[in-house]
Structure 1
Amino acid sequence: MPGGKWNLTASLRPRPGLDGVRAKVLHSATEHVESVGLSLGVDEALIEKLTTDAGVTTAQFAQIWPTRDAFLTDLLCELANQAQIDRADSETLLSTWQYLSMRVDDFHSIEGRRRVLIDVTRSAAEYNFDAVTASSKWRTYAALSVTILSWPEGDARTRVLDALRASELSFVETMESFYRNVLPTIGYRLKPVFKNDYQPFVVAAASVIEGLGIVRTTVPALVEAHFDLPVENGVEAWSVASLAFMGVVDAFIEPDPAFVPEEGIERLSGGIDVTPQSQSD
């Protein structure tokens, strides 16, 4: 991490009224990162560019961040906070709920419910793999998660780790609530050994998608391969991501022997609730 001072004479606390300036500079900086990628260095030329793009002065910058290290730490925390937006796409969650509404006839048999589970898993895994791992915010988050551990111990490292942890927990809670809605609706439940704790399942499923996203950088041909698997009426193309994701699903999830199809159909008409458990308790 760079250790130089931006302005040694400006080591003052940010003055009231500078919140807008701070937001503009951080917005300019996050756009810069999305455009050119994450860099763990900040020099005077970059700060000049960011302040010019934000329409503020370097003097205002120095009132908020007396050192380049202070600015870099704030920027990395901001990047960590923004990453959860692309990782838990609410539009995708709602689309899944709408898709289930078109498959209610399959709810009445074990075979039909299994087919729904497979179809939802396969399509969701492929979409998330393409959409999430192509996101510049996710790529920045992944790079930051790996490189932060090489930073020296100190307040800056702790702050960024705390921001990454908060982002991760927010994502986990959102997805936990989603799975708590969807799985009982289609006649499935978490296996009893997990004691109704969906978070290990969420983390394992996300790790498959995001881990393959990282590996795709070096061996894209392997990660993007598809395989034709036999189905009742022929064959069906499966990606590596969807196969791996299905493996996680089968490890954690099982049919609910007490499932009543009519209750699942009724749940669909009530809409989806993605309020995290910690907020709904």
Structure 2
Amino acid sequence: MLCASFELVREGALQDFLSIHGSTEWRTYLALHATFQGLPDGELREEVGEVLARSEQNFVAGIAAAYERLTALLGYRLRPDAGVTFETVALLTGATLRGLVTTALSTPDVATRRVSAAPFGGAEAAEWSLPSLGIATTLFAFLEPDPGIEWDDDRAAKVRRALEAEEWESG
């Protein structure tokens, strides 16, 4: 299931990047962050800061919950010695994605550049986008196969059905 997991991250991270990169809502969010930094100290700055902080916490919590469900489904767990939570991983992957989206606004080839790579000991090289490499590197730095999961045909079929039905998204 290892190769399938990499492929899921490779494709999923690119789709997340493209969705954010093309989003006018995202650009508005970036503009609001930039505006917040320029607001003078006072009540308005505090209110805007609180709203942005809540928005960020909700975003990270949602991504963390999705990562937790997806890793369990795919037979992974956080490495016990990593000292991180799914919230930490979500914060780091979100920052990676945001940084690349922001960079792509002025350097468009960030969105289209591909590298032929076989990261994480993969057997075959594949075309990886920069967002996919960044997200996968962060995820797999903190994840490991769960030794308590036994892979057999029934489990593989269950995972395939869940991914096709996107059951993991709704919990």
Give deviations 1:29-81, integer Å, cap 9, x for gaps. Answer: xxxxxxxxxxxxxxxxxxxxxxxxxxxxxxxxxxxxxxxxxxxxxxxxxxxxx
Q: 1:205 aligned to 89, 93, 104, which one?
A: 93
Describe the shift of the 1:154–1:270 C-alpha distance in structure 2 as closer, same or farther (beyond 3 A).
closer
RMSD: 2.4
Conservation of the 8 A alpha-carbon contact between 1:126 and 1:242: yes
Query: Partner amino acid for 2:22?
Result: A
Partner in structure 1 of residue 150 of structure 2: 260
Report 1:115-194 matches (<5 A).
115-194=3-82
The total of aligned residue pairs comes to 162
Confirm whether residue 251 of structure 1 aligns to residue 141 of structure 2. yes
Following superposition, the deviation at residue 244 of structure 1 comes to 1.0
C-alpha distance in 2, partners of 1:238/1:197? Answer: 26
Conservation of the 8 A alpha-carbon contact between 2:73 and 2:168: no
Q: Structure 1 residues 169-178 or 217-226, which shifts more? A: 217-226
C-alpha distance in 2, partners of 1:125/1:218? Answer: 20
Query: Partner amino acid for 2:95?
Result: S
Give deviations 1:227-268, integer Å, cap 9, x for gaps. Answer: 1225646x4211111111111012111111111235675574
Following superposition, the deviation at residue 213 of structure 1 comes to 0.5
Which segments of 5 or more consecutive residues in structure 1 lack a partner in the other structure? 1-112, 276-281
Following superposition, the deviation at residue 122 of structure 1 comes to 0.5
Describe the shift of the 1:159–1:197 C-alpha distance in structure 2 as closer, same or farther (beyond 3 A).
same
Confirm whether residue 272 of structure 1 aligns to residue 138 of structure 2. no
C-alpha distance in 2, partners of 1:271/1:245? Answer: 22
C-alpha distance in 2, partners of 1:202/1:265? Answer: 28
Partner in structure 2 of residue 219 of structure 1: 107
C-alpha distance in 2, partners of 1:153/1:270? Answer: 45
Q: 1:239 aligned to 93, 105, 129, which one?
A: 129
Which gives a bigger RCO, structure 1 or 2 (Cα 8 Å, sep 6+)?
A: 2
Describe the shift of the 1:135–1:270 C-alpha distance in structure 2 as closer, same or farther (beyond 3 A).
closer
Larger radius of gyration: 1
- Identify, as 1 or 2, the structure richer in helix: 2
Following superposition, the deviation at residue 214 of structure 1 comes to 0.3
Give deviations 1:141-164, integer Å, cap 9, x for gaps. Answer: 112113312211111011111111
User: SS state of the match for residue 168, structure 2?
Assistant: coil
